[in-house]
Structure 1
Amino acid sequence: MTATFDQCIDVSNSLLRGELSAVETYTQALAKFRTEPERSLLRSIRADHQDSVGRLRAHIDDMGVQPDESSGVWGQFAKAVEGFAKVFGHTTTLMALEAGELSGIDDYLVALDDPEVMDEIKQEIREVLLPRLERHLDALRKVRAK
């Protein structure tokens, strides 16, 4: 494999780990929220992140390598949100979820600027993955403002 190809795999797996962490984070946050509209929103966002995991895994599979299976270091973020949810109220948990979405947006923007990331992955980021995170962020902010 070339350095360019390796870089694309590394970036793609990093994005995948972030999405896996998001799934874990929203699963933990759902334990805190028992009422609507928060519960439905968090379930919907988690489903989007699960779909993003599938999309990124498919791209990595297409490159002929095994996708990462765990969130790795990103899993620590999920644990932090779980801790926030137990100790603090809903507002703090929602703010932590917003921070996670912002981090994901930043990661996708960096990937878009990386010349080593394949065009097919960049297209997926531009058309699906990034707009999805921006919608999540807006929805979380609206729920928190109520």
Structure 2
Amino acid sequence: MSEIHGSYDMGPSVLSPENVAPKTAEVQDLERILRGEISAVEAYKQVLEKYSTYENANSLRRILVEHEKAVDFWKKQLRSQESFVEESSGPWGTVVETFVGAAKLFGDGPTLRALKEGEEHGLNEYQDLIENGNVNFESESFIKTICLDQQRLHIATLDSLIMMNKV
């Protein structure tokens, strides 16, 4: 009987961009949605740094928490497909950060309008995702039963805050 010497290299044990299969259209769409949700979290955190003590800051905190839950869901979906999960919003996050940062310099109205534009963009992204049919049943159900309604509610909340011009 012969002995086997040495060790067998099982390869990397952690998913990274270098050791995952080529991306399907669904994975690419989910990554785009995840980056958008991470951008939303970053934007609301940035705004709440300035407005944390204002009377309507709880409305913004609620929206932030809902985006954080969406981030968790999309990360789980990507992991279930053995896809590398980004922790950053990428270049889009930089654009959002700059846009929200500039709006904060000009006061409450522009800041809230910047957040609203982001929510409208997110709503369009979710609607496009449903229309293109690249998502599995669980993702489609999450979008239809939670995300679309939440995006619409976020927009209505921001509209209300803009009308009051208070954060």
User: Would you say same fold, with TM above 0.5?
Assistant: yes
Match of 1:83 in 2: 102
2:55 pairs with one of 36, 49, 58:
36
Any runs of at least 4 consecutive aligned residues in structure 1 with deviations exceeding 4 A, and if so which?
none
Asked if the contact 1:84/1:92 (under 8 Å) is kept, the reply is yes
In structure 2, what is the equivalent of residue 143 of structure 1? Answer: 161
In our comparison, the structure showing a higher alpha carbon Rg is 2
The alpha carbon displacement at 1:98 in A equals: 0.3
Conservation of the 8 A alpha-carbon contact between 1:22 and 1:78 = no
Cα deviation 1:45-92 (Å, max 9, x = unaligned): 11110000001111111111122211012212122102210x201011
The residue that corresponds to 2:76 in the other structure is 58
Which ranges of structure 2 fall in alignment gaps of 5 or more residues? 1-19
- Percent of aligned pairs with the same amino acid: 29
Structure 1 match to 2:4: none
Q: Which amino acid aligns with 2:76?
A: A
Does residue 26 in structure 1 map to residue 44 in structure 2? yes
Match of 1:74 in 2: 92
Question: Are residues 1:126 and 2:144 paired?
Answer: yes
Unaligned runs of 5+ in 1: none
Please identify which structure carries the higher helix content.
1
TM, length-normalised to structure 1: 0.91
Shift of 1:119: 2.2
1:128 CA drift (Å): 1.0
Q: CA deviation at 1:21?
A: 0.2
Corresponding residue for residue 105 of structure 1: 123
Aligned counterpart, 1:114: 132
Aligned partners of 1:25 and 1:77 also within 8 Å: yes
Q: Is the Cα contact below 8 Å between 1:18 and 1:104 reproduced in 2? A: yes
Which amino acid counterpart does residue 138 of structure 2 have in structure 1? E
Count of aligned pairs between the two proteins: 143
Output the aligned Cα RMSD.
1.7
Shift of 1:31: 2.2
- Give CA deviations for 1:77-119 in whole Å, capped at 9, x if unaligned: 122102210x201011000100000000000001001122222
